[in-house]
Amino acid sequence: MNAPALNIVPFVSVHNMMRLVNAIGVERVLTELAGFVEADFRRWPEFDKTPRLASHSVDGVIELMPTSDGVTYGFKYVNGHPKNMRAGLQTVTAFGLLADVGTGYPVLLCEMTILTALRTAATSAVAARHLARPGARTMAIIGNGAQSEFQALAFKALLGIDRLRLYDIDGKASRKCAGNLERYGFDITIAGSTAAAVEGADIVTTVTADKQYATILTDNLVGAGMHLNAVGGDCPGKTELHRDILTRSQIFVEYPPQTRVEGEIQQLAADHPVTELWQVIAGTAPGRRSADDITLFDSVGFAVEDFSALRYVRSKLAGGDFHDNLDLLADPDEPRDLLGMLHRAAAKG
């Protein structure tokens, strides 16, 4: 088979992403994707790392998230606009790109609205596999929007979570979540309050959308041995946990320079001790130290996880029809003759 022209870039649309995930199976995708995330965390020092580049407005934020391992470069464009839901729009949308470092040419363009939901859930489950108490089976999910089902499925696939306790201030969201998850064999309870949802839970996932300093989870609700998966607080001025929870938890983060600005730990002093998750995965730092510890994964999402997700999708494209080919880059016969290329195109009509 002839190699594709370098100006032709594989593009995975939303339609093809859905086809790909359904063909593989969502739980298998989450499991395989988690493997890519974990592999890249183990080689964390190889990556260029920088906090995401954010453009904030009163309505939300638009961000670029770049990284490179020296061979491949990747970035994601993503927004976060909580008010969008009122207009029937997605709160978060995204697309991403991989490129060859040697030439600078793109090698993949991909939708990342669905893919971000998958990679966020997979990363949460990877963290919990290293931090939660062994044998955890019950998870409370506070906030039952678009990310909640993916979290549930990732924790089922990687940890064996099979009991869910759901709560959202909008009861319709909880009923939607429960309905979508019925087919996967969970024992599901829709709770009437946050307190009722977290009672008896081994793991508590908070994944709310409002951009504000919120106290979704109060200190009195967090018992010894819980693992907290704080997903919703992911930009300056947006939190979900009471500060007192943080001061008695072991805190694990992706990339401290970003998390200290955007995560739950923006409530703490800049020198408050945290452990980087990659160190736990690589075996250079301890995770949970005892069954009674409260562990907190202060998740804000980092570019390496998107890089892993894009790598995973690219690995699934060979020999399949889950992408379109885009004529994305100008490819003149003579690299210095772009105008001549225009003239020749005009002559062809």
Convert the pLDDT of each residue in 250-267 to its tens digit. Answer: 999 999 999 999 999 999
Q: What pLDDT score does 170 carry?
A: 96
Query: Residues 42, 134: contact at Cβ < 8 Å?
Result: no
Q: How confident is the model at residue 41 (pLDDT cuts 50, 70, 90)?
A: very high
Choose among 240, 177, 182: nearest CA to 207. 240
CA distances for 113 relative to 12, 15, 107, 139, 257, angstroms = 12, 12, 19, 24, 25
Where does the chain show beta strands of DSSP type E? Answer: 8-12, 53-56, 61-68, 72-80, 94-100, 106-111, 138-142, 163-167, 187-190, 203-206, 213-217, 227-230, 239-241, 250-253, 275-276, 295-298, 324-327
Q: Which residues are catalytic?
A: 234
3-state helix, strand, coil in the chain (%, to 5): 40, 25, 35
- In sign, the C-alpha dihedral spanning 24, 26, 28, 34 is positive
pLDDT digits (tens, 9 = 90+) for 123-175: 999 999 999 999 999 999 999 999 999 999 999 999 999 999 999 999 999 99
Choose among 215, 276, 263, 204: nearest CA to 47. 276
